[in-house]
Structure 1
């Protein structure tokens, strides 16, 4: 008998879950239906960095989850046959404002690299060495280079994962759906029932689960980033990402595309309008390192809505007393790093293949319900 699985939300969690539900043993007896209207999705608006190892965050569960997420990427990229338009391991350069703090960061990186193979090799770079790797910089800072770091284009990444899954057992329905009190799904074609459901609607999860009498402790946060076009002489291939302390990330892609971002606007809520103020602030942040940039090079502003929890930590698992409904959310600004591992673990759980102790990664889902 074919098992019917629903996924509500086609962002980084939903797309990765859909891919593995089409890829893992058991997929031949599974039909997956993904519902998503695409509105405000953080993943599709995002370009990001996979390099969690030197984060200032000290939440141990978050770090364990982010570390596992970074380790999953090479495996996922190989299995899904993803190209450099979606994911590229070019390394990351992390900076600190003082030489003392930079040396401390370097020693921390060396210690972690000894037992974290995914980090690759670690190198302390002078400002001159940074400019050699990032010739587009006019005012390069010194930094710590981590070769295992990578960059990702969220929209291409999700699109490719879903395309692979559609070749096997995935059906995508582009519409807004809602739940009944029992967790069945109300679509434009009427009520549909599924054996198991994954809910990954990001900042909209509170609204999604309200009909079931469940209130998730999630709040929205607006994020904006800008795309710029560089001249060809400043756009060599495969440059690393720059993560300057206290400023916006600088993410160079091939063919002269440069991404700066992103903002963290707690009062922005679900507003999806791009603002000139945010674009100018991001440009100014980048000009501190690239004085030659100007507003005429901005080719677009992307806007998405992140989901945050009170403790700034992601969560995932089965709903209390609703064993057929799984959730994953609250990713915040680290969604491109933590989202895939959450989708991967949820898919394994659907097939009864999960042997991982989820408590090392997340508090119980009940902790995020009012």
Structure 2
């Protein structure tokens, strides 16, 4: 009986919450989620869901990312999420070199052939990009993928949490040496969706991991109201430019040497401001209205991983999602939920064995 299976999920970001979603869809309703929210990458993120033009050679990553992008439409429809949480407003990617742009367009057409989620692709002149995104000035041409989407991590989590009606305990918890949560009754299944904090989470089990933290910062501006259909811009050589209801977000940074530091770094903020001014000259001398800071999780091979801990069969873990976590997160969650239901499912098309990352 699924209702009698007690499940704990540690971590309330994109993986933790969507794992709860898929478990609930499968009839599991005795789920407790633990989340202290510290430095969470999802809450700090304004993500771009558009993996199809990536030239990363990691086939497992692309398979995950492609699946993750596809899954959002079902989640959004089922949970009745708003356009503030998720919207398919298109993505524009620019290239300064015409040959590189032509190669990227060819790649887009190849992937469009078997990826309905992309919807359509179109080449754009600089003037056409500027028409799509008011205020932007670009010397480079680009490619529009109309199926590209945008997610606000904070709003997405709030709305999905409300839909699920989960029991959430807002505190930091620790595992015992036997793989239970210290101070709580025994759980039948435990999911570790702790991101960059995985090493700390599994230390009581006598395990270590190669996961490292990466700091990310982004800035927001208030601008004249933009349409919810205004595309995201991914300009070559600059930070990403994401429209929101009453402004834009610019970012995010990738800082490998800051550990778990969540303080705002003015040097990075100045770099973000300089990039914003190049993309939209109207922002050149305008102060940002807010700053977000979060901590991503990375592995040495820049690949996400997930699965069942070999010596603790009731514990499942996922980490290493990096800057594409909002894209791969739902796919990882769906597969984790499937693994909890049937431990024999095959994951090799999506991830290396978990023992490659946890020792």
Q: Which band: TM-score by shorter chain?
A: over 0.9
CA distance in 1, matches of 2:53, 2:277: 24
- Shift of the alpha carbon at 1:139? 3.0
Confirm whether residue 258 of structure 1 aligns to residue 248 of structure 2.
yes
- Structure 2 counterpart SS, 1:155: helix
Aligned equivalent of 1:286: 276
- Shift of the alpha carbon at 1:287? 1.6
Out of 269, 272, 289, which is 1:299 matched to? 289
CA distance in 2, matches of 1:76, 1:313: 24
CA contact (8 A) 2:48 2:232 kept: yes
- Shift of the alpha carbon at 1:355? 8.2
CA distance in 2, matches of 1:138, 1:45: 27
Aligned equivalent of 1:242: 233
- The verdict on how the C-alpha distance between 1:46 and 1:242 changes in structure 2, with shifts beyond 3 A counting, is same
CA contact (8 A) 1:90 1:239 kept: yes
- The verdict on how the C-alpha distance between 1:270 and 1:297 changes in structure 2, with shifts beyond 3 A counting, is same
- Once the two structures are overlaid, the 10-residue window that deviates more, 65-74 or 237-246, is 237-246
Q: Which 5+ residue runs of structure 1 have no aligned equivalent?
A: none
CA distance in 1, matches of 2:345, 2:75: 18
How many residues were matched structurally?
357
CA displacement, residues 94-121 of structure 1 (integer Å, 9 cap, x when unaligned): 1112111001111111111011111110
Which 4+ residue blocks in structure 1 deviate beyond 6 angstroms? none
RMSD of equivalent CA atoms:
1.4
TM alignment of 1:4-153, pairs within 5 A: 4-24=6-26, 26-27=27-28, 30-139=29-138, 141-153=140-152
CA contact (8 A) 1:227 1:299 kept: yes
Aligned equivalent of 2:170: 174
CA distance in 1, matches of 2:314, 2:84: 36
- Structure 2 counterpart SS, 1:292: helix
- Shift of the alpha carbon at 1:289? 1.8
Aligned equivalent of 2:202: 209
TM alignment of 1:174-193, pairs within 5 A: 174-186=170-182, 190-193=183-186
CA contact (8 A) 1:243 1:250 kept: yes
CA contact (8 A) 1:18 1:162 kept: no
Aligned equivalent of 2:348: 359
Q: TM (normalized to structure 1)?
A: 0.93
Out of 263, 266, 273, which is 1:273 matched to? 263
- Structure 2 counterpart SS, 1:7: strand
CA distance in 1, matches of 2:285, 2:353: 46
CA displacement, residues 28-80 of structure 1 (integer Å, 9 cap, x when unaligned): xx300000100000100110100001113111111111111111111111111
